[in-house]
Structure 1
Amino acid sequence: MATPRVPGERDDDITLPCGESVSLGELDMGMREYACSCGERHAVVMDVHPPGRFVPEEIVAVLRETVETDDDHGEFGTTHLMGIVLEEFPDQVVAEDVSENGQVGYSLVWLTDFDSRRLHGIVVELIVELMEHAISHAEDDDAASSFEEQMLEFDVDAFVEAYRVERDFEDEYDRPA
């Protein structure tokens, strides 16, 4: 049975993977990291953040064309990317549905045990794995071979560094690349 509450009263604390907690009031939509009292920085992702936060819009467009979603979230996006991260790192990611809280401006929030730079690298690695899986099902052997050759030369860390500089993640007004 639900516990009765005073109208307007909300339990808006989220327990982080490190065991500390953060109030939803401390998280704003421009935030990419939370400096925790544990001494670490935790990546913050919200459903309103575009997937272009992690990869160029051209790649997002290809993912949307090729990945079929079977849920209420519509086309492939940040919610799906974070679902993949959560699946790979279940003990290092906290996901919270805050859709009942009309004061925050977002419906879902994820906080990770790692910082935003590490999360960015993880997301790119998981997208590459998704693409490798998709190309392995292609009937075009030349395309599969070409993709494999390109991936041998692809440096995730170098890509993430360059993309973060291009996107200027220090500025809350960053735009898609």
Structure 2
Amino acid sequence: MSDEEQSDASDSDGVLDLPCGERKDVHELDMGQREFECACGATHAVVMDVHPLARFVPEFLVEILTETIETDDDFDEFTTAHAMAIVMEEFPDQVESVDVAEDGTVGYALAWAADFDSRRLHEVVVELIVELMEHAVSHADDDEVARQFEAEMLEFDVSAFVEQYRRERDLESEHDTPI
């Protein structure tokens, strides 16, 4: 995460400023929570740095991402924090974050809330990871591999993937239950 993104995280007063203008006490967020109903009437997705990247994509892809993407920050490998930084870049007015690293009572250091629900956030994360992979493949020395990847991605249905992945991981309740 860049210094700018880290500075965007609120100086923790124990409150996460939401994209809608409401505020949420971080002590009300549960680490298994993926979304919550807001006083504004919307459902906001919530993500914490302790959430595994496999929440959004299969383990084999997490392994590829962590092995191939070099990070230049405090994290040793590509993580959920990096995925959320990419989401914040694409949707700067629709995602807010808070740094609660100094609050040892919550169990996480960073939290993000989106102006959309957890299913839409899941789709956004998958779309952005696919774009990241397309960019990486475009720099490969093998033009045939790049063409094949692009052809396969034209057939890739993000919404269908997310539906199936969420069904397999049982993401229909408030709390994530791995298979």
Q: TM-score, normalised by structure 2?
A: 0.90
Q: Which runs of 5+ in 2 are unaligned?
A: 1-11
Question: 1:55 — aligned with what?
Answer: 57
- CA deviation string 1:19-45 (max 9, x = no partner): 111111210101000110111100000
Indicate yes or no: 2:22 matched with 1:20: yes
1:108 and 1:173 map into 2 onto residues whose CA distance is 18
**Larger Rg: 1 or 2?**
1
Counterpart amino acid of 1:43?
A: A
2:13 and 2:62 map into 1 onto residues whose CA distance is 35
Question: 1:80 — aligned with what?
Answer: 82
Q: Which runs of 5+ in 1 are unaligned?
A: 1-9
What pairs up with 1:32-47 in 2 under 5 angstroms? 32-47=34-49
2:117 and 2:19 map into 1 onto residues whose CA distance is 12
Q: CA deviation at 1:155?
A: 0.3
- C-alpha RMSD over aligned residues: 1.2
2:75 and 2:67 map into 1 onto residues whose CA distance is 15
Q: CA deviation at 1:11?
A: 2.9
- CA deviation string 1:99-130 (max 9, x = no partner): 01110000000001111000000000000100
Q: CA deviation at 1:172?
A: 2.9
Question: 2:138 — aligned with what?
Answer: 136
What pairs up with 1:21-170 in 2 under 5 angstroms? 21-169=23-171, 170=173
Q: CA deviation at 1:173?
A: 5.2
Three-state SS of the structure 1 residue aligned to 2:144 is helix
Three-state SS of the structure 2 residue aligned to 1:34 is strand
1:103 and 1:11 map into 2 onto residues whose CA distance is 13
Give the 3 Å change call, closer, same or farther, for CA 156–44 of structure 1 in structure 2.
same
Three-state SS of the structure 1 residue aligned to 2:32 is coil
Three-state SS of the structure 2 residue aligned to 1:132 is helix
Q: CA deviation at 1:161?
A: 0.5
2:23 and 2:79 map into 1 onto residues whose CA distance is 27
Matched-pair contact (CA < 8 Å) for 2:16–2:97: no
Three-state SS of the structure 2 residue aligned to 1:68 is coil
Indicate yes or no: 2:175 matched with 1:172: yes
Matched-pair contact (CA < 8 Å) for 2:88–2:95: yes
